[in-house]
Amino acid sequence: MDKSLVCNASSKDNDPFGELKIFSGKASKSLASEIGAKLGIDLAQSETKTFSEGNVFVRVLENVRGRDVFIIQGTEYPVNDNFMELLFWIDAFRRASATQVTAVIPFFSYAKGDKKDEPRVSIRARVCADAIEAAGADRVLTMDLHSPQIQGFFKIPVDHLYAMPVLVDYFRKKQIPDLVVASPDVGFGKQAYRYAQMMHTNVVFGNKVRHSHDEKAEMLDIVGEVEGKNVLIVDDFTISGGTLIEMAKACKERGALDIYACVSHGVFSKGSAEKLARSPIKELVLTDTIGHRFEPLAPCCKVISVAGLFAEAIQSIHRRESVSRLFDF
């Protein structure tokens, strides 16, 4: 008999909230392993299979009855496959009688579809939220949603982490003189202002326009002074690097010195590495929320880990403690 399927009473007795189990989907194995290491526990056993016609099969290989389960599964490329796998995991844990199932989604791709800003389009983030709830998740833990109001699409609790403290700490240690924070558009302006507050500097804003869904942006103007300044461009994610590059070029044209950038989610489609390598960006810092890469990163890119933030949040949720201290900038 497989001993992993036998209820271990002693481990449950040692933890008044039930034994903590962390599982990883196919999309987030590296980050999940780091989170487990931060918590001092091994990832629980599971398997995922994709059949020849694309059908996804998941199986839990440990007993989760009465356990507090966290499934770590991002929704980067292939987005739909990874999202469906997440739903299947939630359903499997619910049917296996887990006490609580938390969906840990480091990068929630469909957060970009947060509004109906054109006729006859779907609010995709809302559809995904409904599906996660219908599958049986008790709560969601994610990072840097494209729009914070997406939390309101869920009827279950959502803990929304920010990579900002980790990114700010990195650039503080560099001690870059005459630094200003820049937001490529007003949409990220509030977060850019928080970056500037934490780094005790000023913020400037780009006036960006996107004419279609081709992921190309045009920078019309910059509001604020960048001449003779080092610039840190901040954003929540980048797909092609286009917005960051256009903002960097605009800053250079207005007399800026060195250009730095940071994003929470570096998606990077094919061809982005070459464009970034030829851009004025001296260093682009991103986090490890994305596991899939279409190609090697550009030489200017540096990845820093947010495993510690997720580990703290998971521990707090498991112990029924407040997570709000992680949002206190």
User: Mind telling me the catalytic residues?
Assistant: 208
Pairwise CA distance, residues 84 & 132, whole Å = 10
Coil, strand, or helix at residue 141? strand
Give the β-pairing of 203-209 and 218-223: antiparallel
Helix (H) or strand (E) holding 140: strand 139-143
**Nearest by Cα to 110 from 85, 133, 136, 82:** 82
Identify any residues that bridge with 304 across adjacent strands, giving them in sequence order: 287
Q: Are 125 and 113 in contact (CB under 8 A)?
A: yes
Within a 10 A sphere around the Cβ of 3, how many other Cβ atoms?
A: 7
Q: Is the dihedral of CA 234, 235, 237, 238 positive or negative?
A: negative
Residue 308 is encoded by which pair of tokens? 């510690």
Pairwise CA distance, residues 244 & 280, whole Å = 10
Q: How far is CA 4 from CA 62, 97, 122, 222, 228, in A?
A: 5, 15, 43, 59, 62
Pairwise CA distance, residues 139 & 117, whole Å = 28
Which strands sit side by side in the sheet containing 100-105, from one edge to the other?
A: 20-24, 68-72, 100-105, 139-143, 158-161
